[in-house]
Amino acid sequence: MRLPSNTVALAETLSSIARASGVLIGFETMLDRDPLSARTRFGWSMRGKKVSEALDELMVVHRGYEWRSVNGVIHVRPQSAFADLHHFLNQAIGPIELIDALPLHATFEVHRIFIPDCLVSHPIYTDQRDVFLEKEDAAMQQTFTLSFGGGTVLDLLDAVIKAHGSLYWNVTYDVPRERLHDATPSYENALFAFAANPQVGGWWRMCAGRHEDR
């Protein structure tokens, strides 16, 4: 377990649990200010514990979070998110087809749910694709095919990582300090990522030709 009880430490511990157990994890953070700037240190070992026991101990340290097993995926989210029926990740969506898709393709398709006319400018859509992918983790180079019949955004996130087999979904919020008092978990504040590990950070606005990797 990583300490102290900040968002980055939680992500690093979830990553360790995922690597040790092979479980699929979806991770939604709380609304943080500058979550990427935090530092962590080693806390104590969870070796030999069941996944459920390790997650229970983790939730004691990271108060305000909760974990649930949903359709074969471990969801680690703020307690308030589980209770929010109007959360934007519960938005209903129609069928989506992904054929020989990279994880980044899937990430951009999530953006298109909220911005249907989104035009993405990124090397994976150009002749620079291979050069870009050479620097990526093996999981990020692995393609997959998915026929999603419809459901919620959360259902789609789960379906993507289950179809791929070596991914984790992450939803991070990065809100300016002056807006923390009235900010809400919303698409406008969110960074999305399908990644090789549970992590903090992701891809923000990739629409209208803007390349903004955060």
- The tokens 């919020």 sit on which residue? 173
Residue 212 lies inside a defined structural domain of this protein: no
Strand segments (E) across 45-123: 65-70, 73-78, 92-93, 96-101
- Secondary structure letter of residue 187 according to DSSP: G
Whether residue 96 is contained in a domain is answered as: yes
Least confident of 1-5, 194-198, 205-209: 205-209
Of the candidates 125, 131, 128, the one whose C-alpha atom is nearest the C-alpha of residue 109 is 125
Question: How many domains is the chain built from?
Answer: 1
Phi/psi at 145 (5° precision): -125, 135
200 assigned to some structural domain? no
The reply to whether 209 falls in a domain is no
Does residue 12 have a pLDDT over 80?
yes
Q: Is residue 103 part of a domain?
A: yes
* Residue 42 within any structural domain of the chain: yes
Average pLDDT over residues 149-165: 97
Give residue 206's pLDDT.
62
* Three-state secondary structure call for residue 146: strand
What percent of the chain is modeled with pLDDT above 70? 93
Asked if 24 and 73 count as a contact pair (C-beta separation under 8 A), the reply is yes
Tell me which residue has tokens 């090397």: 123
pLDDT band for position 213 (cuts 50, 70, 90): very low
Range name among 24-28, 45-49, 95-99, 143-147 with the lowest pLDDT average:
45-49
Task: Provide the pairing of β-strand 151-152 with 96-101.
Answer: unpaired
In order of 12, 14, 168, the CA distances from 41 in angstroms are 10, 14, 23
User: Any idea what DSSP says for residue 25?
Assistant: E
- List pLDDT tens digits, range 72-92: 999 999 999 999 999 999 999
| Residue 150 domain boundaries | 2-195
- Tens of pLDDT, residues 16-73: 999 999 999 999 999 876 666 678 888 889 889 999 999 999 999 999 999 999 989 9
Q: What is the number of other CB atoms lying within 10 angstroms of the CB of residue 37? A: 9
pTM of the full predicted structure?
Answer: 0.91
